[in-house]
Each structure stands twice: as C-alpha cells, then as structure tokens.
Structure 1
C-alpha cells in the first residue's frame, strides 16, 4: 500500500485545531485541508525528528520506521530539528557520537542546531559536525569566528552542500524538483547553554526573510524552515510568530518545545499557507508530513501524522550496533555513585502525594538553584509529587536510583506567574487532601498552610515567599513571580490549568535541562557530595 494513502485525509475546522493543540493558543491559525491542483503537483514526504536528547533505547525501531516510510514514498526528506545532545547516559558517555552513528546509518538529509548542542561548548559540537554524513543549517547562528566550528562554517545558501559542513541553508534536488531548506536556532541559547562569546545569534525574523529571498532568487519556490525555536515558546522567538511574520515559508519543521502535534497546523497570514509540524520528544515518534505543491510552489494539500516507533520492529543492524557497541557501557554507568545521603530520602506514593517530604525538598531546592543560574529572578520551584516515584535509602545514591526516582526525563520550565495564580495552583495541589494526589506540589522558596476540612478551592490559608532567599514575606496576589517547575506541569499536566494558561500566553521559557541531571548536579555540589535534607514546615496541614 502506498504510504501516503495510509493517512486519513479530513477537513479540520478551527475548533478541531484548538482541540488538537490541547489548549495551546494559536493566533491566526486555521488547520484545514487544501484541494489538490491539477497543475503538475509535486508530492513530498517529510520525515522529521526533534529533541531526541540521546534517547537511544528505541533507536532501532526508529530506524525501522524511517526505512519503511522511505521505501513507500517516491520523494522524501529526513530532517532533524535539533537537540540531539543531552538527556541520557548515552550522551554523558559518547557526547552525541552514538546518536550520530544511527543518524548516518539511516541517512538524514539535514539538521539544525538546538540549544543543547552547545551544552559542552563548541569543541564537542565540532566533533559531531565533522563526522556527520549530512549538512547542518542555521541561518541565524554565526560561528565563523569560533575556533572550533569556523572550519566547517560556509555562511551561505548552498546548491551543492557537503556533509559535515554548516550552511545558512541548502538546496535539495528531489526527482528534478528543488527544495530550499534553511535553519533557525533559538537566541535563548546564549543564556541557557554554553556557546561561548564567539558564537553570535542574529535576528531570526530578518534571517528568515533573507533566506526566502535567497531561495526565490534562485527560482526555488518550495521552502522549508528547519527550526529549534519552539512552537509558542515564551523565550522571544517561536514558530507561530515566524509563520505570521515571514511570507514564503511553506513548511516549518520545528523543535525545542517538545510539542506533540498529532496533525499539522496551518498558519494563513500571508499570500500562501505555512504548515507547521513538531514530533514531541525523546524519539518516541517519527513525524511524517505528506505535502503537495502546485507548480508555483504553493501548498495545495497536506496530511501529517506522528508514528509511534514502538509499533515497529527493531532494525537488526541498528539493534546490533546499540547492544554491542553502546549499551553495555551505559548499563555500567548506572552503577555510578553520584553522592551520599545520611538519611532516608522519602518519596513515592503516598508520601510525596500527601505532604512535604525531604526528598521533595531536595529536588525542588536543586531545581530552584538551577533555575537561578538561568534567570536570577527565580524565587520559587514546584514539583508534582507524582513525578517523585520512589524513596532512596540512606547511604550511596546511584545513577540507577536517581533514574528510578525520576524516570520521565522531564525538563525545566520557568514561568512568570502572578501571586494569585500561585495561590490558585496551591489550591489545586491540596484539592484532594488528605487523599493521595499526583498533583500535590513539593515546594522550594515558599511555604504555605492549608486546611483540608474547608471546601476545595478555599483551603490555602496562608502563603509566604522567600523573595530574598532568606526571609519569608507574604505572597502578593498582584505581584509577578518567577517560578521554576517541570514542563509536564507547566503545560497543564496533572490538571494545572493555571499553568497551562501561562504557557499558552507565552509566559513560560524552556531552557530544557533534564530533572535527573539537575538533581545529580545539585547533590554533587554539596559538601562531600553528601545530603541530609529534612522536613522544614514548608507545607503544613492544619485541619482538626
């Protein structure tokens, strides 16, 4: 069966588009099918990944999915929207080169840089670039003065790109049709990663306009933006703004915000529509977009889907490489002792879901410390108790145990919230008390009292914030506070609609650091890598 026929093509109303986004606010967006033009259409299948973050345990299934889709598509591209680096022990051990072997094996056509590609500086990134069997694109990242990357930087739009080189954009010729691909990387990288002073980030809107103009001057009318700026990120750049501000972009293949777009979005703000896709995170899905262009390069029809890689068998070659070359060392690393605790660290169900625990305090203290390095104005951190899966016995703390406590790999989000919104979140936290609730928040930088005998929504009787890091003062309902949490919660997970509203309004930035790494770093920063957290009265229930 032809691959494209596997998509159920349907008309999507604006209402359906809103439901698809799970309450992500999308201004000037309409998701609807176009009717195919009889004028010599060109059909293209775009496979895409983003924010894989070194999650390689399912990579053999991803390889299998890619091979199947490619085998059933006459014209195809395979693109990655960045953040291959950081997130699991595979990166800690191999610094991206394990991921690269599989990307080379399956034949990616291009990749843009994510912010995490710069986490270990440009020397590590240069090793990744030089061994790649595909080119890199990023129009707004200038590396020509960086000592490690300048030898690979071409600073142009290339009609004949070479593997292992960095371009503003490239031209891919597919069965006689030319497609322009340019890249964009979030300017937040300067604050949330380590690119160094010689890597410069320029205005993404102006660079996108220049890219479209450069391709159109070559007679290219099918243009793809491969971006790592986020769908609706609050950090200052995002795909929705890009689509509205720059005419001539046909497709945006995005990353950074880990959004699970189960079907494409379409922004119709200019002369032609722009289709936007993003494939969640951690290699869970292979994104697919079937798009039809008329002879003028206008999108006339599209259909997209995320393919769950767990529905595919492992590619035998990829599985053998993973299991013999890379996995054994990672399994050994899990035995690594990252620190010690002099007391039992209490988590799990029901402890972390019913009251303050010392492990909850330790996790949120680490989260707050990390957030302060990114935004010094951060004064509060909150962690859903359902994300603290188990306890840790006194003694050595191993990486394996840390991953057992925090198995989801949730990343850091930094929110701008009014005091009234913080109180609303705390009300939700204790709405089911004294019953166990995964939404119950562990906290740092604040303390509160609640009375579970009062009606839900009216239980929080006092909230104080440690604004200066030392002294508690009463929460001001009208004041804006900077609050750290994980992005699961920030996007409305566990019923936090108040956080989801902030996210949808662009009041959440996503620096992307992973919870277990933040925790490990915090423990290792303590004297002799030893912790002794206690319950401090941050959360007090006063019901009779």
Structure 2
C-alpha cells in the first residue's frame, strides 16, 4: 500500500485552547504576500459563541468505486495480521457524511477540489458521474483544484453545468482564478467566496487554487491567470470582515505544506480545509500499527500572522476519508477550541487474500476497529450506489472497448540481453528470443515511456520521460488492444510528476538505475522517451552509460550536463524507489505533482494515434532508449 499511496487518516481529537496557540507569529513581513491588517470587524447582529462542524473531502479524482487495502488488524490470536478490507467508494462518503451530519450541529460540508481525472469514470463521462455523486452529498462549497482545468476552461464549464444540474447548486470557489473575457467561465459560476449561516452566525468560505502548478501543469485557457494565493485570500478576508463576518474558513487547494505557510501570511483566518497534496493526518501512535502513515496531526494547529489560532486539516484522497472537524468560536469569532476525526471508511468483510476470516477473527477485528478511533465501518448509501450503478456498468463495458490494434506482438522485457531477464514475456520464445528485444529491451516499456513524454509535452513542455522497466507488467499481444488491457499494463496507482533536473542529474539517475540492475534488481532498468544511450555493464559504477543523446526537433544531440531539462516520471520513482536515489533529491520548486494517472496517460496516447483504425506499432529502433547493451561475462 505504501507504494501507491502515502497517507491515510483516523479519529483524532486535539483540543486547541487559545493558550496552546501562543506560538509567536512569523513570516508576516513579506511584501509579496499578504501584509495588510484586516479592517476592524463590525459585530454581527447577534454576537455569540458558535460551535461548528466541518465535514470535508478532497482529491477524490473520479475514484468512485470502493477499493481493496491490507490493514494490520488484531485477530483472535492476539496479534496483528495483514487483512484485506474494502475501503473508500463515494457511496461510503455519502453515507458517512449523512450519518455524521445527523449527529452534529451547525454542519458545513466542503469539497476542497480535484474531483476529476484519475479513473475511467472521468474518461467515460467527462465528470458527469463525479458531479452526480457529489450531489448526493450537497456540499456547501467546492474549490477548484488544478485538475479541474485539465480539459480547459470549456471542459470545466461543462463539469460545473453537471454539478449545477441538480438541486444542490454547490457554490464553486476560487478567489485567485481570473478568467479572460473569451473564457467559457467569464462572468460565470466561479466565485471568490460564499457565506453560509448557522445558528444565526455567518461563516465565510473562501476558495483558493494552487497558482503556479495549475498554470504550468494543467490546461487552463491562455488568458486564465491565477493570482498569488495569500494576496487573494487576504483581500477576500478583508472584504468579508468588513461585512461583519468574523468566522473565516479557507477551502484551499494549495497543499499541506503550502497551507501551513499560508496561515502564517494571513490575518483573520480561522480554519484551512486543505487539498492537493493528498495528505493523511492523524495520530501516528494509533495509525502506524494499522499500516497507515500520517504526516501530521488532525487537526494541525498553527497561528496566523497575528498569533491567533488556525486549525489546518486535510482528508487524504480517493474517497478514502471523511474529515470531521469541530470548531468552537467565541463571540468575537476567534477559535477557542478545535478537535477532529479523520474517518477512514471501510467495509465489514475481512479476508486473508480471497478467503474470509473465521467468525472468531472477525469478532476480534471488529473490536480492534472500534477501539482504533480511526477506522469507521460504513455501509454505502443505497441511493448513491444505485446512481453509480449505471455508470459502473458503462465503465465495465469501457474496459472491454477496443481502442487500437497491435499489428505485431509488443513484447515485455525489463533488461536487454540474454542473462538477466531472458524469460520475462508470457508470450514465450516469440518475444523472449526476439533479436530486437534482446538488443534493445521491451517494446511495451518503450511505448509507455513515449506516452509519458507525449503527455508531459502537452502539459509542461517535457523534454524527457523516465520509467522503470518493472513498472510495466504485461505484454500486449498482436491483435486488439482494449482499455482494460492498457490498465493491465500499468495496474498501480502511480501518477505523473514533473522534475526540473540538470543533465548531470539525469545521467546520475540512470546510472543509479543501472547500478540497481547490477545488484540484481531487474525492475530498475530504465526506459526513456526522448533520450537514448549505450550501456556497458563492465564499466565502473557511474560510468556504465555513454553517448547519451536527447531528441530535439532537429534530431538527436548530446545530453548537456549543465542544462536544466523538464523530466516527466512517476511519483514512485520521484520518491527514490527502485534505486532511483538521485531523483529523491529533486525537491521543492523543482518538483511538481502533476497528478495525472499514469495508465490514463498511456490510454490518451493510444487514443491519439492517427487514423480511424488506430495501430499501436513498435517505435523505430532509433528511438529506443537502449541503443546497445553489453552485459558482464
């Protein structure tokens, strides 16, 4: 599980009395961010304390179905074992929010963005399925994430139309998105903020969209711009406070680290409900034994520019978690207490692999779940599940859809040569003894790398793609290529990442991968789009690749070790896994989480092939990353 997702959440109660927020405020003097004190707030008509419950989700990315996960749960033997359970699914989100709302007072429901892209449901319906499922909740606000712009402003307008087709009319927010007169969203449905009223008190909710990432790694119209997040937020805070609204929630799609920094730059913010970084928050002592790895507390406490309390939360990803944050305000609108529970939504069927556990084990597991405070057994909402059923049938049919024809076998091979990976293909000798496969490696791996490069070029002018051979799982035999077949080639939950790397770092990364191969990890062998080389495993570590050349519009040219290249890869490798250690050091502003599903990137590449009868052919040998391969004796 750690390979495909970093975060999960659980129940966590954290009392935030104002004395706990007495940390000195910092970072408030930067003129490029918010530097103005909000105007004195006119008292609301009936100034009084308020207890508020925020129920929130983020980054569900069209993951509407439940999925399977292994959790370390206590069995009747008195020890923790890896047990397969079902978790997530939007019908569970609906059920959990309805149940929690019924049990709470003064509820506000927030979706902090990235509702779409990442699953076949989006390919199938362009967001209609997501919108209809969101309308089973009726969120009080929805913030635009970067992926809402993946189909341009017009595509986003279509999604908003779907969202507003029902009775909910959820306000769509982004205080820093600015649309040109030619945009489909000009003078349209996107607002800076919305105001809700609970128990006679007004609460302002401000939306923020991550600026640089959306402009550079998504596809908004050329005239659509994104202002500095802190400046836009402060301006809207000031506007709301001038109206006497003294309780401010920012529904932010900026990322956990950015949201903690944002709080320090603002005056007058009370709560930040976050998104974008897919962050799991919660108590490590409780969650880690279950196999979950939170990155911070839920809620995370910090202070604003003036030293006043701010509560920051996020609810992981993919419909796995519903966050429940309870906030107590005094009559002046200041936070005096907040505590919360990020509910991990799971089913009540427990298996070891495909075999159900015994009744005794099931009883022990349920007891462990109840004691955890972080896991919530949730029955999917019947109406939501029924609404999804039609889309699911279409999705299952889409998996069988033929999208191209392969005239020849597209063979699977991790490492070229005849020693290290000679029997990888399940198609047998027709691939395993193919001369080109032996010389240059896997056809299907090379096509995947090319697909990633093409998507990277479309989103951020990528120069090079890098993919590990072991991440590509099956051959594509000659004949029909289906959507399901493409997802079998790339079955994990990896997403695309943009890295800004020097040529020297690119070479070092590839040498890392080759060194891992020499140490008998065949899956590390690298495949790239837009880059080729020669390999000699007899050379010293760090000197096994030579004649590295980058493909340009005018042909191949030597890799410039000093030049900065835009590299597209997957998050698994960017995190330094599979021996790609140099990549892990590319951090901060040099790394952008593009978030595109990697299998979807391959599918888009195939869909974009020319002609009505699309043919998925091998690439020319000149474009294979490995031009020659010499193994050790």
TM tier, smaller: 0.7 to 0.9
Aligned residues: 490
Q: Deviations 1:372-419 (Å, cap 9, x if unpaired)?
A: 22333x221112334323221111110011112223343321111233
1: CA distance between counterparts of 2:392 and 2:465? 34
Partner of 2:378: 312
Partner of 2:128: 97
Q: CA distance change for structure 1 residues 494 and 274 in 2, over 3 Å: closer, same or farther?
A: farther
Q: CA distance change for structure 1 residues 53 and 541 in 2, over 3 Å: closer, same or farther?
A: farther
TM-score between the two structures when normalised by the length of structure 2: 0.69
Partner of 2:262: 242
Point out the more displaced range, 393-402 or 268-277. 268-277
Shift of 1:130: 2.9
Match of 1:513 among 579, 589, 596: 596
Partner of 2:616: 531
Unaligned runs of 5+ in 2: 1-9, 17-47, 66-88, 282-293, 347-376, 415-420, 426-437
Match of 1:7 among 7, 12, 34: 12
Unaligned runs of 5+ in 1: 12-39, 154-165, 233-237
Shift of 1:437: 5.0
Structure possessing the higher relative contact order (Cα contacts under 8 Å, 6 or more residues apart):
2
Partner of 1:127: 161
TM-score between the two structures when normalised by the length of structure 1: 0.80
Instruction: Decide which structure has the larger Cα Rg and report it.
Output: 2
Q: CA distance change for structure 1 residues 424 and 131 in 2, over 3 Å: closer, same or farther?
A: same
2:322 is equivalent to residue 286 of structure 1: yes
1: CA distance between counterparts of 2:512 and 2:327? 43
Determine helix, strand or coil for the equivalent of 1:63.
Answer: helix
Q: CA distance change for structure 1 residues 306 and 422 in 2, over 3 Å: closer, same or farther?
A: farther
Shift of 1:305: 4.7
Shift of 1:86: 2.4
1: CA distance between counterparts of 2:412 and 2:340? 41
Partner of 1:175: 199
Alpha-carbon contact 2:210-2:254 (below 8 Å) kept: yes
Partner of 1:196: 221
Q: Deviations 1:418-477 (Å, cap 9, x if unpaired)?
A: 33433343243234325245444322222345565778x64644361405352141451x
2: CA distance between counterparts of 1:390 and 1:258? 29
Cα RMSD (Å) of the superposition? 3.3
Partner of 1:52: 60
Shift of 1:303: 4.0
Alpha-carbon contact 1:55-1:87 (below 8 Å) kept: yes
Shift of 1:316: 2.0
Determine helix, strand or coil for the equivalent of 1:362.
Answer: helix
Q: Deviations 1:493-523 (Å, cap 9, x if unpaired)?
A: 54645434323x2211233332222212222
Point out the more displaced range, 427-436 or 79-88. 427-436
Alpha-carbon contact 1:453-1:543 (below 8 Å) kept: yes
Q: CA distance change for structure 1 residues 305 and 391 in 2, over 3 Å: closer, same or farther?
A: farther
2: CA distance between counterparts of 1:207 and 1:358? 49
Partner of 2:489: 405
2: CA distance between counterparts of 1:43 and 1:440? 56
Alpha-carbon contact 2:508-2:542 (below 8 Å) kept: no
Alpha-carbon contact 2:50-2:199 (below 8 Å) kept: no
2: CA distance between counterparts of 1:301 and 1:454? 63
Shift of 1:213: 0.5
Alpha-carbon contact 1:446-1:463 (below 8 Å) kept: no
Alpha-carbon contact 1:250-1:299 (below 8 Å) kept: yes
Shift of 1:492: 4.2
Q: CA distance change for structure 1 residues 451 and 280 in 2, over 3 Å: closer, same or farther?
A: farther
